[in-house]
Structure 1
Amino acid sequence: MDFRTFRRERLSRPIFRWASRLMPPISETEREAIDAGTVWWDGALFSGNPDWDELLSMPPAQLSPEEQAFIDGPVRQLCGMLDDWSLNWRNRDLPQEVWDFLKRERFFGMVIPRQYGGFGFSNYAHSEVVRTVASASVVASVTVMVPNSLGPGELLLHFGTEEQKNYWLPRLAEGSEIPCFGLTSEHAGSDAASMTDTGVVEYGEWEGERVLGIRLNFAKRYITLGPIATVMGLAFRMLDPGNHLGRGEDLGITVALLPMNLPGISHGHRHIPLQSFFQNGPIFGHDVFVPLSFILGGEAQIGKGWKMLMTALAAGRSISLPSQSAASCAMAARASGAYAAVRKQFGLPIGRFEGIQEALAELAANAYLVDAARRMTLAALDRGHRPSVLSAIMKYHATERMRQSLNLAMDIHGGKGIIEGPKNYLAAGYRAVPIGITVEGANILTRSLMIFGQGAIRSHPYMLEELLALSDPDSDKGFERFETAFWSHVGHSLKNAGRAFLRGWSFGLLAPAPRRGANARHWRMLSRYASAFALLADMALLTLGGNLKRREMLSARLGDILSELYLLSAALKRYEDEGRPSEDAPLVDYVMRRGEGRLASAFAGVLKNLPARWAAWVVRLVAFPLGVPHPAPSDRLTQQVAEILLQPGAQRDRLTPNLYLGEWRDGHPVRDLEEAFRLVSEAHGVLKRIRGAGAESPQEAVQRGLITPAQQELLEKAEAAVARVVAVDAFDPDELVPKGGRVTHHVPRHAKACTIPQDIPPATDEAAE
C-alpha cells in the first residue's frame, strides 16, 4: 500500500466520517447567506499572513468633480434648509419644501445609473452625502440613505429585468415614486426562515383576464418610508401547493415589486423611533393578487430572495449606518473639544482637567478609526468588492463607537447635553443611537453569530469547501472534495503555526511590515496578531466543530479579534493615504495602542474559556510564550491626542472633515459653538497677558496700556459668544399646554401650576443656565 492509498483509506475516510457527524449540514438559508457577497481583506486576515503592500497599493476612495460639486452645492443647501428641532418636536416630518428639494435634486437617484435618469455616483460619494447630511439631521440622512441602499432601486440594478429597470428606475430617480422595502415580519424579526408572510401561486383575475399569479398576505413593520411609499419591495415565502410551476410546494423566499395602490394593501399608523420622526411604519396586505411578472427579476429569481437581500445588504451595511456613525463620531469629537475649551469650571476650561482629556482622546480616536474603516471599505466597494463579512464588521463597530462617542460627549457637556431645545446639538444624535444599534441586524446578533460565524465559513481559505463536501457525505465526489480541501487545510495550518511561533517568540520582531509604510512596530504587531488569530480560529473550529455556533461568547470574541485587525489595518492605511502627516503620529499611535489592548482582551477571553484546554495551551505556547501583552496609551500620549480637539487648526479640521456646522443659518447652535471656540482661542493670549500683569479686569488692562481697546472688544465678544453657547432652553409653562386640554399635577401652593406636555411645544428665545 503506497502512502497516497494509506492516507486516503486509513486517515482521510475516518476523518471524513468523523467530521460528517461533527458538523451539521448547511441549511438553504445559510448557504444563500454564505454565497452572498465576496471575500476581500477578511480573507487575507483569516489566512494569517496578510500582504500589507497589497493593501497599501489600493488607491483611496476619491470624489469626482461632479460628485464634489453635488456635495458643495445641493447637499450643503439641503443642510441649510434643515431645522432639526422643529422637524422632530413640532412638524414630525421634513417640511414640504425639503421633500420637493430632495426630489428635484434627485437625492433618491444617487446610485441609479445615468441611463435611467440618476447620477450613477460612486459608493464613496453616496457615503459622503449621507455623512454630511447626517451631521445636520438624522431624519434627513435616513430619508436620503434608505432609497439608495437596501431597497427596490439597489435590487433592481442587480437583479431586475430590463423591462422592470426601464419602468421603475427613472421614476425612482426623479422621486415620482418613493420606495420602501418590506422585510421584517411581525414575529420573525431577524430569523428569515420563520417569515410568516406568504405568496401562494394560484389563478386569479388581473385586468379582466384570468392569469397565473401570486396571492399575497403579509404584515410588515419597522418599514422606513413605508407611510409615504408608492412602491414596495416585498420579501415573502412563496408557496405552490398546486405545483403549478412544477417545482414543488415551498419555493423559498422571493421578492416582488408592488405598487402601493393595489387593492388589499394598507398602511398602518406611523412608528416613532425614539423621537426621530423619519417616516416609518407598518404595512399590511390581505389577499393581494399580482401576476408572476411582479416578481423582481422575473420567474428566474423565484426562491432566490434571501441571496438577493444578502448580496444587497453586503454593500448597504457598508455604507448607510457607517456613514451616519462616522458623522456622529466626528461631530461628537469636534463639539466636545470646542465646548471643553470654552466652558469653565473652578476658573479653568474643563478641557484642562485630565478626566475630560481622557474622554476627548477617546473621541478623537473613534472619529479617526471609524472614518478610516469607512473610507477603506468604500474604496473596496468602488473596485467591485461586496464583502459581506466586512459589512457586518462595519455595521457593528461603527454604531458601537458612535454609541460610545455620544455617551462621552454627554458626559463632557453635562447639563448642556440633557436639556431639550433648539440650542441642544447633541440630543437628536443621542436619541438616534439605539436606532442604528438595532436596524440592519441587531448588534448583539451581529457580533455573536455573524462576524466570526459567517467569516469562518466565507473567509477561511478552506472551510467553505470542506463544509460543502461534508454536506454530501454519501458520494465519492463529496469525499474527494473533502480530502483535497482537508489536507490543504492541514498544510495551511502547519505553515501558519510556524509563522505564529516565529512572530510570537520574537515578540513581533520577525513579523513582516510593508516596505513603504511608517509605523513598522504597529504593522508587525498586526502581523503577529493575524497569525495568532488564524491559529486560534483553527483550534476553535477543530475542537468545537458545529458546537462553536452555540458558543456565542467565544464566537463573539473571535469576531472581535477579526474586527479589530480590520479596523486597525484601516487606521494605518489612512495614515499612509494622507501622506503620513507628522502631527497625526500621536493620534495613530494612540489608536493602535488602544486597539492592541482590545485585541489582547479578546485573545485572553478566548484562551481562558476554550473548552479544550490543551488547544488553549498550544496557542499560548506557540503565539504568546510570555502571555498576551496588554498595551495601553500613556497619560502623556492621551493628553497629546486630546489637544487636537482643544485647538483650532488644520489637524482638527482634517480629523472632522465635511461636517455641516450651521454655516447656512444664523443662530444655529453648532455655528455659535464654532464662533465661541474661535473667539476664545484668539483671546487666549490677551487673557494670559492680563493675568500675568495682575490686572483685575480688561478695563484696568486698557487703562494700564497692557491691551488695546480692540483687544478688549475681542474679550467682550468672546464672553458674549460663550454665554450663548452655555445657555440652555427654557419654556413658559403656558406654552406646554397640550392640544387636548390642560393637564396639571400637584405643585406647592406658592408655585404656578405646571403642565405635563402632551404635545410638542414651540421654542422660545428665553434661555437659562
Structure 2
Amino acid sequence: MSVLLSIVIALAAIWFMAYKGYSRVTWSIATVVYFAALAVFGVIGPVGLLIAAVVFGTPIVVFNVESLRKSWVTKKAFAGFKAVLPPMSDTEREALEAGATWWETEMFRGKPDWSYLLNFKRTQLTDEERSFLDNETDTLCAMLDEWEILNERHDIPPEGWDYIREHKFFAMLIPKEHGGLGFSALAQSTIVAKIASRSLTTAVTVMVPNSLGPGELLVHYGTKEQQDKWLPGLADGSQIPCFGLTGPEVGSDAGALPDYGIVTKGQYNGEEVVGMKLTFSKRWITLAPVATVIGLAFKLQDPEHLLGDENKTDYGITCALISADEPGVEIGKRHFPGAFMNGPIHGNEVFVPLDAIIGGPERAGGGWRMLVECLSAGRGISLPALSSAAAKMSYRMTGAWGRIRRQFKLPIGKFEGVQEATARISGLNYKMEAARILTASGVDECTPSVVTAMAKYHMTEWMRTVVNDAMDVHGGRGIQQGPRNYLSSSYVSIPIAITVEGANILTRSLMIFGQGAIRCHPYVFPEMEAARDDNLDEFDDLLWSHVGYSVNRGARSFTFGLFGSFLAKAPVDGVAATYYRKLERFSSSLAIVSDVTMGMMGGELKRKELLSARLGDVLSELYFASATLKYFHDEGQPAEDVDHLHYVMAESLANIEKAFDAFLRNFPNRFVAGFMRVLVFPAGRRHKGATDALINKLGDFIMEPSAFRDRLSSDIYLGKSKDSATGRMEHAFKTLIEVEPLYDKFFKAVAKGQLEGLNVDARLKSAVEKDILTQDEADQVKAYDDLRYDAILTDAFSPEYLADMKNQDHVDDRVETRVA
C-alpha cells in the first residue's frame, strides 16, 4: 500500500465518518484500526507506529476516559464558555423560554424529519366554522363599505358594531364553556382574512381582541373568579376589551415600560384592601376609545412587602385587568392611523385591588411571559391573515385587470414587463397561502414563537411587495381613491401591518435568528443553562455531543453542495423531490454556519444585527419553502400547481444563496469566512431565481379562469352587485371570457381599418353591415364593451361632496352626493 493511497483512504474515511455522524468511540476504534493496518501492510514501521501511538493514542485516551477529558479539556472549555457567555436579562430569558419550538427546529438542525411534516395534519375548518365563514362573516362583509368607513364615517357603521357584538366576532378564541365560539387558529385566520378583503378597518377591530387581548390572557392565565367575572361579557359583546402595552417610550422593547404599580393599602368600594396604585401612559391602543375593559402591562413594586416576600421589592412586568370607568382612568380620545378605533389611555394612581392582577397575586411579575406567549400566537394568526387577504385580492383583481385593460392593441397582462410583476403576485400568493395554513395549524398545535415571528415579518413584507406590484399594473386605476378602488385601503394599511406586534426591522434583525438559534439548537441553550448552574458534568456531555453534531453538519453541507444535493434523501417522488433534497442541503449549511458563527462571535453576534438578520432570512426561507412543499403535497400535487411550485422554490433557493453570500462577504474574520464558504458553496452559487419562461407562464395563467384561480383566491369577499368595486371587475372579466373571441374579431377589424365610424356604436354597425359580425354578436360585444369601459373608470366627486366630507354631521346625505 503506497503512502499516497493510505492518505486517500484516511481522507475518505474521515469524510465518510463525519458525513454519517459516527460516535467518539467509533472514531477512536477506526483510528486504531487504520494505523494497525498501515503497520501490517508495511506503510509505517515500528518507529512510525510509536509516533502514531503518541500523537493519536494520547488524545484517544484523554477523550475516552471521562475523568481525564473533564479535567484536561472540558474544564478549560467550560471556563472559556462562561467568560464569553453574553449577559441575559430576566426579560430576555423569559422571552427565550416562552412559547415552543416547532417545525422550524427541524429546518435549523440540518437533518429535517420530512415524515413529520408530511404526516402533520393541518387544521381543517369544522362544519360550524365553515358555516360561520360563509354566513355570518359574509353578512358582516355585505354591511361594510370601506370607502364610507375610511372617509365619511371614520368608523364602522352602527349596524356593523351591533352585528359584531351579537355574533361574537370578538370571542372567537374564548372557549364555548365561557360563552365564546371556541374556534381554531386557522378559523380565526380565515375569518379575519375574509373581513379584511372587504374592510381592513373592521378586520383590525375584530382581530385585536382575538390576538393580544384580555380574553386570551384570561383564558390562559386568569383565575376562575376572573374568568367567571369577565369572559361572559367579553363573549357576548357587552364588554369591549383593549390591551395597553405600547406608549411614548416603549414600542418593540416592552422591557422598557415606564408604567408602574405600587402595592399599598387603600379604599375600594368602601373597604380598606391591599391593592395597587397604577400610573400609566399608553399610546396606540386599538379599541381604547370604545373599550370598557382595559388590560394593562406595568412594572410592579412592593416597597412595604405586602405581597409577603420580605426579600423582594421589584416584581417586574405584571399584567392586570381593570374597568375603564375606574376613578383616575382617562380614556376615549382617538389617534388616527385610519378609521379603526385607536387611542391613548392615561392613569394617575388608579387604585385597584390585587385581584386585578391576571392570574391573581401569585402571577405578580409574570406578565412578560404572558405577553410573549400571547404575542407569539397572535403573530401567527392576525397579521398573516391581513396580508393574505391583500395578496388574494391583488391576485384576483390584477389578473382580471390584466386581461380587460388593453394598451398598444394587447391586453396589458401579455407584456413581459407586466408579467414580471404578475408572476411575483402569483408566486407570493401561493407561498403566503401555504405559510398561512401551516403556521395557523402550528398555532393550533402549540405556541411556536420563532415561526410566528417569521410569519409576521415576511408575510407583511410580501404584502407590501404584492400590493405595490398590483398598484404598478393598475397604474392610474389604482391611484385614484374612491368606492371603485379595491387596492387603496390595502396600500394605505401596509405601514400598520409592518409596524404593529413588533416592528419589522427589529423582528428581522433581532428576533428570528437571535431567538431561533438558541431555542432551535439542540445544545446551545442547555449548554448555557449548564454554565449558569456551574454543572461541569452536564456541560461535558453537551459539549462533545455538540462537537460531533457540528462535524456531521459541516460534512453534510460540503457533500451536498459538491454533489448538487444528489445524496440527500427525499420523502416523495416526482417533481417536488429535488426541492426536498436542496432544502436539506441548505439546512445542513445553516446548522454548521450557525455553529461556527456562535462559536467565533459569542455575545458579539447580538450586536451584529445585519449578520443575524441574514441567517434569519435563511431560516425563514427554509421554513416557507418547506411550507410550500407541504401545501403542494396536501393539495394532492395537482398539475396546475406545478409552475407555481417551481417559481416559489426557484425564488426561495436564490434568496437562501443570496443571504448566505451576503453573510459570508461581511463576516469579520475573513479566514473563517472562507472556510465557511467552502462548506456552503464548494461548487459555487447555482440558484438564480425564476426563468423568463416560468415568469411568462405565471403571467399568462393569472389571467385565466380556473379552479386554481378560485382556490388561490378562496374565502375572500367579492361584491355581489355589479356596481361594487370587486363585483364590477368580476362581472366584466367573466363576460370577457364568454365573448373574447368575438371581441378580438371586432378589435382586429378596427385595427386593420376595415370598419367605418369614430366610436364603438358606429363601428359595430359597420361590422354588421360588412358581415364581420352578426347583430347578436355585435350586441354581445357592445354589452361587454360597456362593462369594460365602466370597469376601467375611476371615481369622480362633486365639489359639494368633497366640501361636505369636512362636515361629520351628515354622513348619510354625503353618501348620496357621490358622482361617478
Structure 1 residue 454 corresponds to structure 2 residue 515: yes
Q: Give the CA deviation at 1:35.
A: 1.1
- For residues 347-380 of structure 1, the C-alpha deviation after alignment (integer angstroms, 9 at most, x for no partner) is 2211111110110000001111111001011222
**Residues 339-354 of structure 1 correspond to what in structure 2 (within 5 A)?**
339-354=401-416
Tell me the distance in 2 between the aligned counterparts of 1:684 and 1:652: 19
The one-letter code sitting in structure 1 at the alignment partner of 2:785 is E
Q: Which residue of 2 aligns with 1:675?
A: 731
Query: SS of the residue aligned with 2:233?
Result: helix
The one-letter code sitting in structure 2 at the alignment partner of 1:95 is P
Q: Which residue of 2 aligns with 1:386?
A: 447
Contact 1:328/1:402 (<8 A) preserved = yes
- Within the candidate set 531, 556, 574, 2:631 is matched to 574
Q: Which residue of 1 aligns with 2:51?
A: none
Tell me the distance in 1 between the aligned counterparts of 2:792 and 2:639: 35
The one-letter code sitting in structure 2 at the alignment partner of 1:556 is A
Q: Give the CA deviation at 1:97.
A: 0.5
Q: Give the CA deviation at 1:55.
A: 0.4
Query: SS of the residue aligned with 2:380?
Result: helix
Tell me the distance in 2 between the aligned counterparts of 1:763 and 1:679: 33
Q: Which residue of 2 aligns with 1:406?
A: 467
The one-letter code sitting in structure 1 at the alignment partner of 2:497 is G
Contact 1:421/1:763 (<8 A) preserved = no
- For residues 116-152 of structure 1, the C-alpha deviation after alignment (integer angstroms, 9 at most, x for no partner) is 1111111111111001001001001011111111101
Unaligned 5+ runs, structure 1: 742-756
Cα distance, 1:83–1:388 mapped onto 2, change above 3 Å: same
Paired positions, count: 746
The one-letter code sitting in structure 1 at the alignment partner of 2:441 is A
Query: SS of the residue aligned with 1:646?
Result: coil
Structure 1 residue 468 corresponds to structure 2 residue 468: no
Q: Give the CA deviation at 1:206.
A: 1.1
**Residues 435-514 of structure 1 correspond to what in structure 2 (within 5 A)?**
435-472=496-533, 477-514=534-571
- Within the candidate set 227, 241, 263, 2:303 is matched to 241
Tell me the distance in 1 between the aligned counterparts of 2:265 and 2:692: 73
Structure 1 residue 260 corresponds to structure 2 residue 324: yes
- For residues 193-241 of structure 1, the C-alpha deviation after alignment (integer angstroms, 9 at most, x for no partner) is 2211000001111111111111100000110000000001110000011
Q: Give the CA deviation at 1:439.
A: 0.1
Tell me the distance in 2 between the aligned counterparts of 1:599 and 1:467: 29
Q: Which residue of 1 aligns with 2:653?
A: 596
- Within the candidate set 584, 590, 608, 1:527 is matched to 584
Q: Give the CA deviation at 1:549.
A: 0.4
Structure 1 residue 615 corresponds to structure 2 residue 661: no
- Higher deviation after alignment, 248-257 or 52-61: 52-61
**Residues 172-321 of structure 1 correspond to what in structure 2 (within 5 A)?**
172-247=234-309, 248-267=312-331, 269-273=333-337, 276-321=338-383
Tell me the distance in 1 between the aligned counterparts of 2:108 and 2:651: 22
The one-letter code sitting in structure 1 at the alignment partner of 2:740 is H
**Residues 644-655 of structure 1 correspond to what in structure 2 (within 5 A)?**
644-655=701-712
Q: Give the CA deviation at 1:517.
A: 6.5
Q: Which residue of 2 aligns with 1:751?
A: none
Q: Which residue of 1 aligns with 2:121?
A: 59
- For residues 666-702 of structure 1, the C-alpha deviation after alignment (integer angstroms, 9 at most, x for no partner) is 5211110111111222221113344667666833333
- Higher deviation after alignment, 67-76 or 242-251: 242-251
Structure 1 residue 641 corresponds to structure 2 residue 701: no
**Structure (1/2) with the larger helix percentage:** 2
Structure 1 residue 717 corresponds to structure 2 residue 783: yes
Structure 1 residue 434 corresponds to structure 2 residue 495: yes
Q: Which residue of 2 aligns with 1:3?
A: 65
**Residues 653-668 of structure 1 correspond to what in structure 2 (within 5 A)?**
653-663=710-720, 665-668=721-724
Contact 1:736/1:760 (<8 A) preserved = no
Contact 1:197/1:237 (<8 A) preserved = yes
Unaligned 5+ runs, structure 2: 1-62, 758-763
For the pair shown, the structure with the greater C-alpha radius of gyration is 2
The one-letter code sitting in structure 2 at the alignment partner of 1:294 is A
Cα distance, 1:2–1:481 mapped onto 2, change above 3 Å: closer
Tell me the distance in 2 between the aligned counterparts of 1:496 and 1:77: 54
Q: Give the CA deviation at 1:733.
A: 2.8
Q: Which residue of 1 aligns with 2:18?
A: none
Tell me the distance in 2 between the aligned counterparts of 1:461 and 1:427: 46
Q: Which residue of 1 aligns with 2:477?
A: 416
Cα distance, 1:463–1:762 mapped onto 2, change above 3 Å: farther
Q: Give the CA deviation at 1:303.
A: 0.5
The one-letter code sitting in structure 2 at the alignment partner of 1:649 is S
Tell me the distance in 2 between the aligned counterparts of 1:713 and 1:488: 78
- Within the candidate set 696, 699, 717, 2:765 is matched to 699
Query: SS of the residue aligned with 1:503?
Result: helix
Tell me the distance in 2 between the aligned counterparts of 1:763 and 1:601: 53
Normalising by structure 1, we get a TM-score of 0.94
The one-letter code sitting in structure 1 at the alignment partner of 2:250 is A
Tell me the distance in 1 between the aligned counterparts of 2:182 and 2:286: 23
Q: Identity of aligned pairs, percent? A: 44
Tell me the distance in 2 between the aligned counterparts of 1:187 and 1:380: 33
Structure 1 residue 155 corresponds to structure 2 residue 211: no
Q: Give the CA deviation at 1:483.
A: 2.2
Contact 2:561/2:681 (<8 A) preserved = yes
Contact 2:767/2:773 (<8 A) preserved = yes
Tell me the distance in 2 between the aligned counterparts of 1:728 and 1:91: 22
Query: SS of the residue aligned with 1:454?
Result: helix
Tell me the distance in 1 between the aligned counterparts of 2:279 and 2:563: 63
Q: Give the CA deviation at 1:714.
A: 1.9
Tell me the distance in 2 between the aligned counterparts of 1:594 and 1:696: 50
Q: Give the CA deviation at 1:192.
A: 2.0
Cα distance, 1:759–1:589 mapped onto 2, change above 3 Å: farther
The one-letter code sitting in structure 2 at the alignment partner of 1:5 is S
Q: Give the CA deviation at 1:243.
A: 1.9
- For residues 723-763 of structure 1, the C-alpha deviation after alignment (integer angstroms, 9 at most, x for no partner) is 1111111223343336889xxxxxxxxxxxxxxx9999987
- For residues 62-107 of structure 1, the C-alpha deviation after alignment (integer angstroms, 9 at most, x for no partner) is 1111111111100001110001111110101001111111111111
The one-letter code sitting in structure 1 at the alignment partner of 2:324 is M
Tell me the distance in 2 between the aligned counterparts of 1:125 and 1:333: 22
- Higher deviation after alignment, 547-556 or 722-731: 722-731
Structure 1 residue 563 corresponds to structure 2 residue 627: no
- For residues 498-555 of structure 1, the C-alpha deviation after alignment (integer angstroms, 9 at most, x for no partner) is 2212211111111121135641111111111111111111111111110000000000
Query: SS of the residue aligned with 1:539?
Result: helix
Contact 1:243/1:249 (<8 A) preserved = yes
Q: Give the CA deviation at 1:468.
A: 1.8
Q: Give the CA deviation at 1:704.
A: 4.2
Q: Give the CA deviation at 1:644.
A: 2.0
Contact 2:118/2:630 (<8 A) preserved = yes
Q: Which residue of 2 aligns with 1:30?
A: 92
Query: SS of the residue aligned with 1:370?
Result: helix
Q: Give the CA deviation at 1:7.
A: 1.6
Query: SS of the residue aligned with 2:250?
Result: coil
- For residues 319-346 of structure 1, the C-alpha deviation after alignment (integer angstroms, 9 at most, x for no partner) is 0000110111111111111111111112
The one-letter code sitting in structure 2 at the alignment partner of 1:155 is L
Contact 1:334/1:656 (<8 A) preserved = yes
Tell me the distance in 1 between the aligned counterparts of 2:108 and 2:756: 65
The one-letter code sitting in structure 1 at the alignment partner of 2:744 is K
- Within the candidate set 737, 740, 757, 1:684 is matched to 740
Contact 1:730/1:766 (<8 A) preserved = no
Q: Which residue of 1 aligns with 2:424?
A: 362
